[in-house]
A and B are shown apart, each in its own frame.
Chain A
Amino acid sequence: MEKSLWKFVDTKRLNAPREEVVGDVHVTVYFGPDDMPAAVTGETDSEKGVIRIFFRYDSEGEARVRRVLGERRSILYGKKTKRIYGLELPSDSSQSRISANVVSTLNRIQETSREIGLERVENYLAAKQAYEQVSPQVESLLRSYYDRGVARPTVTGEPGGSIDSRSD
């Protein structure tokens, strides 16, 4: 197992204005400073056949909880803030579906966040956009691990697996 360097997110670009309807009023909204990840990184674990994506924030320092979402699929979030700190996903044999896997899992978390008791919806959206911004760098890091034989992908992961398990 080997951990990569952090890939810093351009938060200025990430925090582009968005239009949102509040009540029946159109308002320009932005992410709050606490919702935006400052950096993203990834690691591979050949023993378990998984990849892990991690998010870092400017203000941290809280206990984290791991919740299993499916087979070899889990989420790491802040116990108090409910912010997403990490994702664990099955390794993809073609490696081309890493991004699709990560993004679709974050989409599912965002869509079902209220049902599973994680209500920091803006953070999940920010995490997805932050990952998309640095995904080429994170993927190339993961790929370099594969190429160096640090981890060998064994199982093809299905993007966006169901989030039906309870926390452990």
Chain B
Amino acid sequence: MKPGTLHTVVYWGAMSFEFLASFLLVAAVCEPAMIHVNHSTTLGFRAWTQQNLNAIGIVLSAAIFVFRSIRAFVGPPWLWITISEILREFHTAVFSELGEWEFANHHRVTLYRYRRFVLWPTGRGRWPFSGGRFPWSGWLVPVLRAGPESPGSTVWCAHETKYDGFCGAVFRMQAGTAEKGPPGLPDISQDSTEGEIEEYARNTFVDPITIRNRIARGKPCARYYLAIRILVDSRKRWGVLMIDSREEKLPRAQVATHRFDQVCEVLSHLLKRVS
């Protein structure tokens, strides 16, 4: 999945406004006559800017800061296109041996981004702010996914102690990479017993209600997870890259583990540009 039109419009819009605000700031401070208007208007404009120079400077500086922050938060479109290509290549390398239908629907590589504040964490199938979780608790939001067309919708809590989901646990644990597969993860389907659902939920750090909701909506439950925490500058936790699959283990495990670290290192360099 590649970044959408909205992303591109927001990025280039913010860049244009930042440029415009910078130009106006320079014009106001250095030479108001840089703005091409007729002579009498120029004189009036010059007098007005000189009277309100401090206020203009503050407003334009704030506007530049805001637009620059938006640009840094959104990240350049080329970066997301590059990352989506890297994830697609990685996905193909790991799962290409499987059939096309399986390949598209049941084996995913997802990039989650950590955000301190999320107004409404989606995809949980229940009230998201239970158990002491709040919009400011810190959340992992899916931003790119290789496999299905959808980037994913489930937002996981990444609070220091109240994390949930396998990616939430990996984000908070000391070890940088974690793996989980059977026997801890039974095959979950419409016919699964309550005990199996509870065991699966416990082993994937989620509430059994979330699993029941997934079953009710016909969504598959993965039987294998491999997740790696992405650090930028070797220290700042940016997010998590996670493989989840309906297979009990990865079809090309050696290729996957060999490439997984490499992909993570490349991402940690690229994602420095997205604050």
Q: Residues on A close to B: CB < 8 A?
A: 17-18, 20, 22-35, 57-59, 62, 78, 80-83, 121-122
Contacts of A57 in B (CB 8 A): 234
Q: Any chain A CB within 8 A of the CB of B21?
A: no
Contacts of A83 in B (CB 8 A): 234
Check if A30 sits within 8 Å of B179, measured CB to CB.
yes
Contact flags B168-185 to A (C-beta < 8 A → 1, else 0)? 010001111111100010
Check if A32 sits within 8 Å of B180, measured CB to CB.
no
Among residues of A, the one whose C-beta sits closest to the C-beta of B169 is A22
Q: A25-B184, A30-B175, A32-B231 are in contact. List 6 more A-B contacts (CB 8 A).
A: A22-B205, A25-B203, A26-B184, A30-B176, A32-B264, A34-B176
Contacts of A17 in B (CB 8 A): 179
Check if A34 sits within 8 Å of B174, measured CB to CB.
no
Chain B interface size, as a band, is 20 to 34
Check if A27 sits within 8 Å of B169, measured CB to CB.
yes
Check if A28 sits within 8 Å of B180, measured CB to CB.
yes
Among residues of B, the one whose C-beta sits closest to the C-beta of A17 is B179
15 pairs, CB–CB < 8 Å, chain A vs chain B: A23-B169, A25-B203, A27-B180, A28-B178, A30-B179, A33-B176, A33-B265, A35-B176, A57-B234, A59-B268, A62-B234, A81-B234, A82-B235, A83-B234, A121-B174
Contacts of A27 in B (CB 8 A): 169, 173, 178-180
4 closest Cβ pairs, A-B complex = A32-B176, A29-B175, A30-B177, A28-B179
Q: Chain B interface secondary structure, helix, strand, loop or mixed?
A: mixed
Contacts of A32 in B (CB 8 A): 175-177, 228-229, 231, 264
Check if B176 sits within 8 Å of A23, measured CB to CB.
no
Q: Residues on B close to A: CB < 8 A?
A: 169, 173-180, 184, 202-203, 205, 228-229, 231, 233-235, 261, 264-265, 268
Check if B176 sits within 8 Å of A25, measured CB to CB.
no
**What is the distance, in angstroms, from B120's C-beta to the closest C-beta of chain A?**
26
Check if B261 sits within 8 Å of A33, measured CB to CB.
yes
With A and B bound together, what is the CA distance between A139 and B233 in angstroms? 32
Check if B176 sits within 8 Å of A31, measured CB to CB.
yes
Contacts of B184 in A (CB 8 A): 25-26
Contacts of A82 in B (CB 8 A): 235
Contacts of A23 in B (CB 8 A): 169, 205
With A and B bound together, what is the CA distance between A35 and B264 in angstroms? 13
B175, B180, B231, B234: which contacts A31 (Cβ < 8 A)?
B175
**What is the distance, in angstroms, from A11's C-beta to the closest C-beta of chain B?**
9
**What is the distance, in angstroms, from A56's C-beta to the closest C-beta of chain B?**
13
**What is the distance, in angstroms, from B237's C-beta to the closest C-beta of chain A?**
10
**What is the distance, in angstroms, from B232's C-beta to the closest C-beta of chain A?**
10
With A and B bound together, what is the CA distance between A24 and B199 in angstroms? 12
With A and B bound together, what is the CA distance between A18 and B179 in angstroms? 10
With A and B bound together, what is the CA distance between A135 and B89 in angstroms? 39
